[in-house]
A and B are shown apart, each in its own frame.
Chain A
Amino acid sequence: MDILQKERKLKELQSKIEELDNVELIKKIKEEIESYKNEAMSNLTAWDRVLLARHQSRPTALEYIKYMFDEFIELHGDRLYRDDKSIVGGIGTINGINVTIIAQQKGKTLEENLERNFAMPHPEGYRKALRLMKQAEKFRRPIITLIDTPGAYPGLEAEERGQGEAIARNLMEMAGFTVPVIAIVIGEGGSGGALALGVANKVLMLENSIYSILSPEGYATILWKDATLASKAAGVMKLTSFDLEEYGIIDRIIKEPLGGAHYNREETFKNTKRAILEELTELVKLQPFELREARIDKYRNYGFFQRFNYDNLGGVKR
């Protein structure tokens, strides 16, 4: 039984309470529900976390921005082709610190999702993000990115306009910024589409979000030729926040309320804001040069391999 089914069961139980009028019985049942909730929501599998990260009512980037930042002025357009709605960017302040905010925005309803292209950015979205980030570098504002995307859009026009080039350019330029960059994975972090906003000094992650090279479905189809094995793939892929923190890919896990971010939005936003502020105060102390070198060095050290020491041989002639 996965997390969505458990949620449905809980809702059923709660609706049944309202029909009752015996006070003591209600109290008893409420306690039972509470204990069931604790039991059901505490030991989550990787697949449960995938489902939570994609949950319909999970807070989206704009909700985070609205709560966490004192003010936010949205800016549009990449100055080259058009404005991509799946990436939201702008300037704002958090506790009096001026920052540039870039976020991938999912929709809540189908219409919204169509407008936002299911948070799958086109190249112009990444170019807009890069433009705003360069602006941030000019005015020495820290950059905060919120990542929530299934991946970059794999479509005809996206390819024509150089999806690969746009992502590559973002990766390179982001590594070289001399202002603090903080990336927060708030939902799905899928593949290069997420990484293109995720080259940061500190990468934070919400507890029930995922960050992976491709979707579990894609992994299952590629390796096992069967998309229905996605739940098994999720277990294998090490895409949860806890696994990634163990590997050192992310720096910090932001705690979510029991049952996922959507059960208590305010608490999630508060935790996120606190985490951002803590990291920012640390990063602001560093010199521009240090920030840049620290970021490059951080990514330089990622990798899982072994090396036999051939240094003394000085290469082999072919």
Chain B
Amino acid sequence: MATYSTNEFKGGLKIMLDGDPFTIVENEFVKPGKGQAFNRVKVRNLKTGRVIDKTFKSGESVEAADVIETELQYLYNDGEFFHFMDPQSFEQKSAPQAAVGDGAKWLKEQDICTVILWNDEPLSVEPPSFVDLKVVETDPGVRGDTSGGGGKPAKLETGAVVRVPLFIEEGEVLRVDTRKGEYVSRAKE
């Protein structure tokens, strides 16, 4: 079992706490004038995203979490699992709904996603920051109105709904920022 000593603690280090994998967000060494030293850390649960405070006795060791970040290609969703493939090894991995979360609405087949693996299983899936998606449903375009002011909702091929300028038509392919959930531009084909 790999372990880390508290003096190796730094932001980004992955550790196990109460059976869950966590990443260290912030580490502070604290010590009263005389007395024991502690490492006071903020850690994020990689399963739930929740950030909690934790204190360790300095010099103690904590179990390391076998967590790596990798790039996998999204293949398909079978209704229960999202399936991915390593483009180099062609090895396939399946991620449960919970690992994909809200990002599911941006997933288009063939797109390369950032996947966090814990003990070799997908723990969380992050869609690409920018995706090109086709508009499948929106009110008819208002020609000549290129102001972009106001806007209207448009449903995309993955099911996501974003606000788009009035001139956008069904069938057009748009570039979308998945982190903000916002329309960026028409996609350049």
A complexed with B: no
